[in-house]
Amino acid sequence: MKAHEIDYTIYGEEMQFVEIELDPHEGVVAEAGSFMMMDDNIKMDTIFGDGSGQNKDILGSLFSAGKRLLTGESLFMTVFTNTSAAKKKVSFASPYPGKIIPIDLNRFDGVFICQKDAFLCAAKGVAISIEFSKKLGRGFFGGEGFIMEKIQGDGMAFLHASGTVIKKELQAGEILKVDTGCIVGFSHTVHYDIEFVGGIRNTIFGGEGVFFANLTGPGTVAIQSLPFSRLADRIIASAPSQGGKRKGEGSILGGLGDLLDGDNRF
* Strand segments (E) across the chain: 7-11, 17-22, 27-31, 35-38, 42-48, 76-82, 88-93, 98-104, 111-114, 119-123, 127-132, 147-152, 156-162, 165-170, 175-179, 183-187, 191-196, 211-216, 219-224
Q: What DSSP assignment string belongs to 48-71?
A: ETT-STT--SHHHHHHHHHHHHHT
Res 141: pLDDT = 47
Mean pLDDT of the chain: 78
- Please check the confidence at residue 83 and state whether its pLDDT lies above 80: yes
- Please check the confidence at residue 139 and state whether its pLDDT lies above 50: no
One-letter amino acid of 260: L
In this prediction, residue 138 has a pLDDT band, given cuts at 50, 70 and 90, of very low
Res 259: pLDDT = 44
pTM for this prediction = 0.77
Query: Which whole number is the average pLDDT over 132-154?
Result: 63
Q: Domain 7-237: give its CATH superfamily.
A: Mitochondrial biogenesis AIM24 (3.60.160.10)
Q: Of the ranges 31-35, 163-167, 230-234, 258-262, which one carries the lowest mean pLDDT score?
A: 258-262
Query: Which whole number is the average pLDDT over 3-21?
Result: 91
Query: Which whole number is the average pLDDT over 82-98?
Result: 93
The percentage of the chain sitting over the pLDDT mark of 90, rounded to a whole number, equals 42
Q: Where are the domains of the chain?
A: 7-237
Q: In this predicted model, what pLDDT tens digit does every residue of 24-72 receive, in sequence order?
A: 999 999 988 899 999 999 999 988 766 665 445 555 555 555 555 555 5
Res 123: pLDDT = 94
Res 132: pLDDT = 64
Q: In this predicted model, what pLDDT tens digit does every residue of 198-256 receive, in sequence order?
A: 555 544 544 445 677 889 999 999 999 987 777 666 677 777 765 555 555 444 444 44
Query: Which whole number is the average pLDDT over 114-131?
Result: 88
Res 62: pLDDT = 57
CA distance 9 to 11: 6
Query: Torsions phi, psi of 155, nearest 5?
Result: -120, -165
- Please check the confidence at residue 179 and state whether its pLDDT lies above 90: no
CA distance 196 to 214: 10
- Please check the confidence at residue 266 and state whether its pLDDT lies above 80: no
Higher pLDDT, 142 or 149: 149
- Please check the confidence at residue 131 and state whether its pLDDT lies above 80: no
Spell out a b/e string for 224-262, using b for 16 or more CB atoms within 10 Å of the CB, else e.
bebbbebeeeeeeeeeeeeeeeeeebeeeeeeeebeeee
Higher pLDDT, 141 or 117: 117
CA distance 170 to 212: 17
Res 142: pLDDT = 45
Higher pLDDT, 262 or 147: 147
